[in-house]
């Protein structure tokens, strides 16, 4: 069984620590810069 990954692109709209923390809590597996 293949696990689905959640990939997020980090840019100006999501560059603050608080927003990245929310992405992690929401299930983000991979961050793309």
State both tokens at 8: 């997020």
Task: State residue 2's pLDDT score.
Answer: 73
Task: State residue 4's pLDDT score.
Answer: 86
Range of the domain at 9: 1-33
Beta bridge partners of 9: 32
**pLDDT tens digits for range 1-33:** 678 899 999 999 998 999 999 999 999 999 999
Q: How many domains does the chain have?
A: 1
Task: State residue 3's pLDDT score.
Answer: 83
For the stretch 1-33, what's the b/e string if a residue is b when 16 or more beta carbons lie within 10 angstroms of its beta carbon? eeeeeeebeeeeeeeeeeeeeeeeeeebeeeee
Angle at 20 between CA 16 and CA 21, to 5 degrees: 115
Task: State residue 24's pLDDT score.
Answer: 95
Is the pTM value of this prediction over 0.85?
no
Q: Whole-angstrom Cα distance, residue 31 to residue 1?
A: 23
């Amino acid at each position: 069984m293949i696990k689905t990954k959640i990939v997020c692109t980090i840019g100006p709209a999501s560059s603050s620590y608080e927003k990245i923390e929310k992405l992690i809590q929401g299930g983000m597996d991979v961050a793309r810069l």
